[in-house]
Chain A
Amino acid sequence: MNTVFESLEQFFQYTAFANMTVQHIIMIFIGILFIYLAIKKDWEPLLLIPIGFGMIIGNIPFVSGLNIGIYEEGSVMNILYQGVQTGWYPPLIFLGIGAMTDFSALISQPRLMLIGAAAQIGIFGAYIIALHMGFTPAEAGAIGIIGGADGPTAIFLSSRLAPHQMGAIAVSAYSYMALVPVIQRPIMLLLTTKKERLIRMAPPRQVSQKEKIIFPIVGFILTAMIVPSGMPLLGMLFFGNLLKESGVTKRLAETARGPLIDVVTILIGITVGCSTQADEFLTGDSIKIFLLGLISFVIATTCGVLFVKFMNLFCKEGRKINPLIGNAGVSAVPDAARVSQNVGREFDKNNHLLMHAMAPNVAGVIGSAVAAGILLSFLG
């Protein structure tokens, strides 16, 4: 009989109940909260559901040595995590983004590209603040990229510069991307007058197929020449777009923007979520990272809106830009552009800004990849 009890006790020591801590329970609740927000509020469900469930998986405690944890070399989760650690998932996501993005709005109104550059100031604003909060330059660079509002770029850069903080950075980036409507709207309203919000922009000209094909080739050559360290992201982004626009690689484009990006999104989401093990995640640094992520989003949105107002000083009447599209300079495609559209329609039901906002929005994707490349060349 004793043997039975001893066996049961021994077995109990292996269960999660015996190893559970308060931190694990908190993280499991955060995972459930993510899943709730994704389903109930429809906030980035494609990301928050895999990340949320990954958090639950990653925070079931276990006895080490079973080769099941994400940080135990050779385990299944660890093998899947290699794509995050070595940074090859993000370029594949960029391939899919390129294959699904229509750059017509940007090609027809190239001046709006500059808004995408202005919004990247958020990255470097957060970088400076992070340095003053005691982070090393490499950590500060990885944290600052949250302001680019681009999950794959944040993972790509943090995997190189601060792999020990990648979980917190990735979760922070994706969380704030989901919260874009909540964060950006008050800033947009605060920085614009009613008159400015009513500005109507001329419809963009029609873009020829030839221009759409030239765009990714010229875009890649020019940006990669300036920032070669951003090549993995920029190369895949523009390559994906060429697959879409060439018109002769329909099957490849469909795979890139369909099954491939879906598979990688599942893997990146679940493994990033899994990497947020309580003992590593629930630290003072993670709280600071969340705070800095918010600050970088606020700076990025502010700079985007203010930069449009600055551009308007030099624009003739009839060519003025509605500053409500300034927020879209952060990547977060197409959520940030959708915020411009919704806020614009609050003040003029017939003023559709989505088409215009897509230009700085996709410029933001290019801008954040360039910014990541620059930080990598300085600190990597």
Chain B
Amino acid sequence: MTGFAILQTSASVLQKSAEMADKDPHGAIITLVSVSVVFVALIVLYFAYTFIGSLSSGKITLPKRKNSTKNDKTAGPTPEEAAAIAMALDQEFNGETYAAIGMALHQYFNDTVHDNESYIITIKRK
């Protein structure tokens, strides 16, 4: 009923295990090395995500490129464009519009817009 032959440990495992039993009978070396590696792996991740988080929240900024393109949102509008936008707004809109545009721009540049729509249109049948 057994057929346990298929559950045998592989030869390489047995060999490595025997070697380890000779070299490190109390398990101190493997423990020290392994715990250190686990910590190193997670410390590396800690630094990586701290850096990415700082970049994302604007605590640190990357040096700006000299030749920024028009599509680069961090570059902002040119002085002429800004003047034209200001004039158009002054003529067309009231204070509430300024506040809404200001808030939208603030969220866009700080990358805090998170409410991505699914673009799925659902039609309710009456």
A205 x B57 contact (CB < 8 A): yes
One digit per residue, 1 when the CB lies within 8 angstroms of any chain B CB and 0 when it does not, for chain A 357-380 equals 000000100110011001100111
Instruction: State whether B38 touches A71 (Cβ < 8 A).
Output: no
Roughly how many angstroms separate A124 CA and B2 CA in the complex, as a whole number?
Answer: 32
A272 to B8, CA, bound (A): 17
Other-chain residue from B4, B31, B53, B112 in contact with A128 (beta carbon distance below 8 A) = B31
Choose from B20, B45, B49 the contact partner of A378 (Cβ within 8 Å).
B20
Chain B contact residues: over half helix, strand or loop, or mixed? helix
With A208-B111, A247-B116 known to touch, is A371 a contact of B45 (CB < 8 Å)?
A: no
Stretch binding the partner chain, chosen from A32-40, A104-112, A260-268, A338-346: A104-112
Question: Cα distance A64–B25 when bound, in Å?
Answer: 40
Q: Are B7 and A164 in contact (CB under 8 A)?
A: yes
Complex contacts, B111 vs chain A, CB 8 Å: 208, 210
Q: Give the interface SS of chain A, mostly helix, strand, loop or mixed.
A: helix
A161 contacts B by Cβ under 8 Å: yes
One of B9-17, B62-70, B75-83, B93-101 contacting the partner: B9-17
Number of A-B contacts (CB under 8 A): 171
List B contacts of A136 (CB < 8 A): 17-18, 21
Check if A163 sits within 8 Å of B12, measured CB to CB.
no
**Complex contact A208–B13 (CB within 8 A):** no
Task: Flag if A117 contacts B116 (CB, 8 Å).
Answer: no
User: How many B residues, CB 8 Å from partner?
Assistant: 48
For residue A375, give the distance in angstroms from its CB to the closest CB of chain B.
7
- Tell me which residues across on chain A come within 8 A of B30, comparing CB atoms: 124, 127, 137, 375, 378
Alpha-carbon separation in the docked complex, A273 to B117 (Å): 44
- Residues of A contacting B114 with CB < 8 Å? 206, 208-209
Interface centre among B12, B20, B40, B111 (most CB of A within 10 A): B20
Closest B residue to A115 by beta carbon equals B42
| B residues less than 8 Å from A69 (CB atoms) | 1, 3
Scan residues 153-195 of chain A and give those whose CB is less than 8 A from a CB of chain B.
160-164, 166
A138 touches B9 (CB 8 A): yes
Partner of A380, one of B12, B27, B57: B12
Contact: B43 with A114, CB < 8 Å?
yes
Given contacts A114-B43, A120-B38, 17 further A-B contacts (CB under 8 A): A111-B50, A117-B43, A123-B34, A161-B9, A161-B17, A163-B9, A166-B7, A211-B53, A214-B52, A219-B45, A222-B45, A222-B48, A223-B41, A277-B1, A279-B2, A375-B34, A379-B16
Q: Which A residues lie at the B interface, using CB under 8 A?
A: 61-64, 69, 71-73, 85, 106-108, 110-111, 113-114, 116-117, 120-121, 123-125, 127-128, 131-132, 136-140, 160-164, 166, 205-211, 214-215, 218-219, 222-223, 226-227, 247, 277, 279-280, 363, 366-367, 370-371, 374-375, 378-380
Interface residue ranges, B against A (CB under 8 Å): 1-4, 6-10, 12-14, 16-18, 20-21, 24-28, 30-31, 33-35, 37-46, 48-50, 52-53, 56-57, 111-112, 114, 116
